[in-house]
Amino acid sequence: MKVALFDFDGTLYPGQTFNVMLKHLKDHPQYSKNYLKFMSRFRLVYIGYKLKLVSKDTMRSEAMKLYILSFKDNTKEEIVDYFKELGQEIRQDLYQPLIEKVKALKAKNVYTMVISGAYTELLQGILEDDFDHLIGTTIPFKEDKIDTSNEILHMQSDVKVKEIKKHLEDKDVDWANSYAFSDSITDLDMLQLVGNAYAVRPDDELRQYAEVNGWGIISNE
């Protein structure tokens, strides 16, 4: 079987979902109080990042964790509905040339996957009917509420390949004829899994790597 692996932020979606998530939460008629909870806890992390006491990856992981923990008093149904609503807003701005590529690959029976640091529930709200499988940051639930005792594992670059292989471990994957798409050099390990790697509106480092290695480059140019 052939697979196609897609990053989300900067690839399928031109922007950064976390920026949209913050604005949506801040302006939300029901959950704006959660934004205040988030900011009161995140402020110190962000100051640490600006002072170079906290790494960018750590800052991002803490932001994701604190964002969802602001919903610890809400039910699972409320959280899922919130992300469905947000997902429909984000869906309107997906990068259409790549969405058409997804459709073309699915028509050839290629197994399509999204691997993203975004919450799985948000990915489902955006893309549930478009891909065969979605891998995102999992929100731990227990008895209809967020399980605050359970670690929230942010799906970043070093974890992505492990989760891809775990999901496909019982499948006979033709990696040499499979596909991967990303905008960032941080996804290099994922891109190197396949024989057909594409840099999508890439950062400078990935563009240079793609050019040297003869990878496809998809851009607005």
Question: What is the CB-side half-sphere exposure of residue 201 using CA atoms within 13 A?
Answer: 14
Q: Give all strands of the β-sheet with 133-137 in edge-to-edge order.
A: 133-137, 111-119, 3-6, 179-182, 196-200, 216-218
Predicted pLDDT of residue 59: 93
* 65/122 Cα distance (integer angstroms): 14
- What would the pLDDT profile of 177-213 be if each residue is shown by its tens digit? 999 999 999 999 999 999 999 999 999 999 999 999 9
CB atoms within 10 A of CB 134: 22
pLDDT of residue 155: 84
pTM recorded for the entire structure: 0.93
144 φ/ψ sector (left φ>0, alpha ψ -120 to 50, else beta): left
DSSP 27-92: H-TTTHHHHHHHHHHHHHHHHHHHTTSS-HHHHHHHHHHHHHHTTTTS-HHHHHHHHHHHHHHHHT
- Residues comprising the chain, all counted: 221
Domain of 147?
A: 3-218
Q: Domain with 192 in it: what CATH number?
A: 3.40.50.1000
**What is the overall mean pLDDT for the chain?**
94
Number of domains composing the chain: 1
What confidence category does residue 221 fall into, taking pLDDT thresholds of 50, 70 and 90? Answer: low
Q: Token pair 């939460």 is at which residue? A: 25
